[in-house]
Amino acid sequence: MTDRDTTRHVLRKAARILGTALASVLGLVLLILMALQIAPLRETILAEALRRADSALPGDLRAGSLRWPGFGHIQLGDILWTTSTDTLAAAGRLEVEVDVPALLRRDVRVRALVGQDLYLDLPALQAAMPPKTDSVRAEEPKKGSRSFPREGALPGVPSIAVEGIAINARTLRLSPDRTVRALELEGAIDLRHGTQGRIDLKNAALAMPEDSVSLDALTVSWMPRQGANGLAGGLQASGGGSLGQDFPFALEARTTGDGAYRLALTRQTGVEPPDAMGVVAEGVLDLAPQSLERVTADFTIKTRTRASWPRFLSCGRPWETSRS
């Protein structure tokens, strides 16, 4: 046997070994995919994942029901996360449905995000999970690396879409003396790569009893787009609620793609100063890429006294104003 024959023999043998290895790997992947078609097996895997999360997290994490109806679709019921002294979080139902093929394109597309009867205690969570003191330097992405998710419709924003958001929370404890109650959120977000981008808040409501503040209803529609002079877009918003026991409010806002805007905060929709108490601001947002450079505004204000001007008129950004 010549040296050339020996080389060919070695190459053929290596090719057979490599082919057998690839076939074995593909067969294992197919076997796993076929096994995951069996719902009880999927739910067993989900239960094991919950058990591992319980071991890794402080306190006790339990779920009354676990379901994995299909790839990317998970449902949990009666979730309770407690320590010996506090209830950190709870939920009557959590459901997430993800478009798995979209992940291969480095997009995150969530078909449904549902949270019902939520309870969250942020001070208790901070006490149970104090921040680590060791500073870990974040690794910079290597040149030419492909990030996940990729950049979306807006600069610096990941490519993500949530087609259906339905959240209601009975209690969201922000601090020892401030709590949000009866929080309701319903809407959709689409900021995927290659789209114009859209954020739709069909309804939002909440109450903060300690501050006598409530939001009875709010709808927002925003279609951002990247213009030549920076981020611009069209926004429409309307809603109402209460800023105190004797100050109900109605909100109307809109912007256009060239940066022009109008904001009205009044006691009653359609009745504006100088005919009624409230604030109307009209002007232009001077935009640069990914930043707000300047706000110009013309105000029409009517209040009981000058001292009662709402606090929100104080803004950290430089702006030019005139009042009438």
Q: What does the pLDDT look like over 120-157, one tens digit per residue?
A: 999 999 988 887 765 555 556 565 567 888 988 887 88
Same domain membership, residue 154 and residue 81: yes
User: What's the average model confidence in pLDDT over 23-45?
Assistant: 60
Same domain membership, residue 156 and residue 59: yes
Same domain membership, residue 253 and residue 171: no
Same domain membership, residue 252 and residue 173: no
Same domain membership, residue 196 and residue 48: yes
Last residue of a domain, one of 200, 231, 262: 200
Would you place residue 18 in the very low, low, confident or very high pLDDT band (cuts 50, 70, 90)?
low
Same domain membership, residue 254 and residue 119: no
For residue 188, is it within any domain? yes
Same domain membership, residue 220 and residue 89: no
Same domain membership, residue 294 and residue 190: no
Same domain membership, residue 288 and residue 175: no
CA dist 272 and 276 (Å) reads 5
Phi, psi of 216 (to 5 degrees): -80, -35
pLDDT at position 294: 66
Q: Is the pLDDT of residue 270 over 50?
A: yes
Tell me the residue type at 196.
Answer: Q
For residue 52, is it within any domain? yes
Task: Give me the domain span that covers residue 99.
Answer: 44-128+148-200
β-pairing, 213-227 vs 230-242, is antiparallel
User: What's the average model confidence in pLDDT over 94-107?
Assistant: 90
Q: Is the pLDDT of residue 255 over 90?
A: no
For residue 27, is it within any domain? no
Tokens 């419709």 identify what position?
Answer: 153
b/e 234-253 (16+ beta carbons within 10 angstroms → b): eeebbbbbbbeeeeebbbbb
Same domain membership, residue 221 and residue 101: no
> Could you give the number of structural domains in the chain?
2
CA dist 99 and 71 (Å) reads 8
For residue 2, is it within any domain? no
For residue 224, is it within any domain? yes
Same domain membership, residue 191 and residue 227: no
Alpha helices (H) along the chain: 3-35, 39-56, 100-103, 122-128
Same domain membership, residue 229 and residue 292: yes
For the chain, the 3-state helix, strand and coil shares in percent, each to the nearest 5, are 20, 50, 30
For residue 20, is it within any domain? no
Query: Residue 209: helix, strand or coil by DSSP?
Result: helix
For residue 269, is it within any domain? yes
For residue 21, is it within any domain? no
Q: Are 93 and 115 in contact (CB under 8 A)?
A: yes
Q: Which helix (H) or strand (E) holds 223?
A: strand 213-227
User: What's the average model confidence in pLDDT over 91-116?
Assistant: 92
Q: Is the dihedral of CA 264, 266, 270, 275 positive or negative?
A: negative
For 202-215, the pLDDT digits (tens) are 999 999 988 889 99
